[in-house]
Amino acid sequence: MDQPTHICDECGSEYFPSTSPMVRLCPNCAHYLYGYENCVHEFVEGRCQKCHWDGSTSAYVASVQQSQGGKPS
């Protein structure tokens, strides 16, 4: 059975809502914007098999990643 998906309000990626602590954000955006634990992504054919995130980031999240010493996705 397929899991339902939501669309992240910040980056626009689909994600499995059961994998994010926030209703309208994917795990990656919830992590960089609010400090929640991120998914340990496992990409297969362009999507994380755990959370269904496609690697998208908004310009704002990319700037937050850079300011925290990470590289933008």
Which pair of tokens denotes residue 47? 């999507």
Please state the domain extents for the chain. 6-67
Contact 64, 73 (CB under 8 A): no
How far apart are alpha carbons 4 and 35 in whole angstroms? Answer: 24
CA 3/CA 55 separation, integer angstroms = 19
Give 2's pLDDT tier (boundaries 50, 70, 90): confident
The model's pTM is 0.89
What does the pLDDT look like over 23-73, one tens digit per residue? 999 999 999 999 999 999 999 999 999 999 999 999 999 999 999 886 655
Amino acid 68: pLDDT: 86
Taking the chain, what is the end-to-end CA distance rounded to the nearest angstrom? 30
The DSSP bridge pattern shows strands 43-44 and 47-48 to be antiparallel
